[in-house]
Amino acid sequence: MEENNLNTPEISPEEERKLEKMAARRTSFKIHFAIFLIANLFLWVVWYFLFKGKEDTTFLKAILFVFIVWLLGVVLHYMIVYKWTKSYKEKELSSLRKRHMEHVREIENLKAEMLKQADMDAESEQEAEENEPRNSRIID
């Protein structure tokens, strides 16, 4: 009998698609890395048993080239899958939202300062009116 955990939040279909895509990309990287290891191990074993100690180093240079270029590809694949997970659109949208919120906060601060200044000006005017001697007319 299956037990339903009521504390587990439901995942929306959109989130489910994102998770499936992420899982597929990570699986793809793991397969790529395994093939990289096996193929390069094979090339190095062939070099060791067939070409080590020979004057001609062409095979050694070739497998070094293949290893370095493929290693760069694997590192780039890793970075894309695990480190650069947000799309450029999402990063730009996040940056724009952050700048917008800073702009809104700045406007709110300026409004608050203006209201405070207006209140201080009104108080100053009121004090000036209270302290001003009243002109009395002298009737002749």
Angle at 121 between CA 119 and CA 125, to 5 degrees: 115
CA-to-CA distance for 117 and 34, rounded, in angstroms? 68
pTM of the model: 0.55
Q: What's the pLDDT score for residue 48? A: 93
The tens digit of pLDDT for each residue in 8-43 reads: 678 888 888 888 988 999 999 999 999 999 999 999
pLDDT score at 1: 44
What digits encode the pLDDT tens for the residues 99-113?
888 888 999 999 999
Q: What is the Cα–Cα distance from 68 to 77, expressed in whole angstroms?
A: 14
What is the average per-residue pLDDT within 104-125? 88
How high does pLDDT run on average in the chain? Answer: 84
Q: Is the pLDDT score of 140 beyond 80?
A: no
Q: Is the pLDDT of residue 136 over 70?
A: no
CB neighbour list of residue 67: distance below 8 Å, 6 or more residues apart: 40, 43
Compute the average pLDDT of residues 122-126.
82
**In the chain, domain spans:** 13-85, 87-131
